[in-house]
Amino acid sequence: MSRQIIVGNWKMNGLSKDSTARTEAILSALPDTAVDIVICPPFTQLAAIASLTANSPVACGAQDCHMESKGAFTGDISPEMLADLGVSHVILGHSERRQTHGEIDETVREKTVAAIKAGLTPIVCIGETEDQRETGQAEDVLGWQIKGSLPDGFNGILAYEPIWAIGTGLAATTSDITDAMTFLRAELVRQFGENGKTIQILYGGSVNAGNASEILAIPDVAGALVGGASLDPEAFLTIVRAASAH
C-alpha cells in the first residue's frame, strides 16, 4: 500500500511573510490522512520553509537544480546545496522551464541523475502541448520524453502534466487521465522492465479543491502536482484531504 503524494509548486510566488504564513497555515491544519505532502517554494524561501517544516510530516522541495555539484555556474543552485538546506525533493523538467529556459530531455536527465546522487527525490515532469495532442502525437511525445528525461534505474517520481491543462483551469478529464496513465504505465514497463511497474505517476494540470477527489481516485494516479491551488492553504488542504493510501 503506498501513500498518495501531494506536491505544491509555488512557482515564482512568495515573499518571506506570505510564505511563512502559508506554510504555518498548512502545518496547523494537517489532516490525519496517510498522505505525503511536499511544498516547493522559490529558491529564496527554501531555507526558511525547510526549517519550518523540519520534523513535520511536510517535506520541502525545490523547483529546479543544476546538474553539477559546484563550479563556475553563475546564478545556479546545485542539488548538494539543496540537500544541505534540508530540502528532500526537486521538481525537474517542468514545462515552464522546458519552454522558457530551453531545457531539453537530456538536460532534465542530467539534472535527475545529479539530484539522485545528492540524495534528493526528483519529480520529473513530462507532458504534451495542445497542438501535439490535436495532431495525434501525444503518445509519441510522452514516450520520447520518458526515454530522454529518465535515467536507467530511475527510482524517483514522474509527473504527467499535459501542458494545455497547466494554469488554464481546464484539467484533463477523468477519461483523458485514465488513458494517459494506462499508456504511461505500459511505456514505463516497456522501457524499464520490472522497475517500471513501481514508478509513481502524479497528475498535474489545474488540480483544485473541486476536482481533486475525482482525479485522485483514478487508478494508478499516485498523487497530484498542484500549481495555482497550492498558494491557497485551504484549497491545498482540501486536496490533501482528498488523497489516500491505496
Give the interface with ligand PEP as residue ranges (CB under 6 A): 9, 161, 166-167, 204-207, 225-229
Smaller CB separation from ligand PEP, 58 or 92: 92
Nearer to ligand PEP, 102 or 169 (CB): 169
The smaller minimum CB distance to ligand PEP, of residues 126 and 150, is found at 126
Which residue, chain included where needed, has cell 495555482?
228
Q: How far is the CB of 163 from ligand PEP (least distance, A)?
A: 10
Q: Is the dihedral of CA 83, 102, 104, 168 positive or negative?
A: positive
Residues pairing with 7 in the sheet: 38, 225
Q: How far is the CB of 70 from ligand PEP (least distance, A)?
A: 28
Catalytic residue among 66, 89, 94, 96: 94
* Residue 211 zone, left/alpha/beta (φ > 0; ψ -120 to 50; rest): alpha
The yes-or-no answer on residue 246 being catalytic is no
Using alpha carbons, select from 25, 63, 24, 28 the residue that is nearest to residue 46.
Answer: 63
Q: How far is the CB of 98 from ligand PEP (least distance, A)?
A: 12
Query: 167 vs 189, which CB is nearer to ligand PEP?
Result: 167
d(CA 105, CA 72): 23
Residue number of the CB atom closest to ligand PEP: 227
Mark whether 94 is an active-site residue.
yes
* Minimum CB–partner distance for residue 166 and ligand PEP (Å): 4
CB of 68 to ligand PEP, least distance (A): 25
Nearer to ligand PEP by C-beta: 90 or 166?
Answer: 166
Please tell me the distance from the alpha carbon of residue 227 to that of residue 7, in angstroms, as a whole number: 9
Catalytic residue list: 94, 161
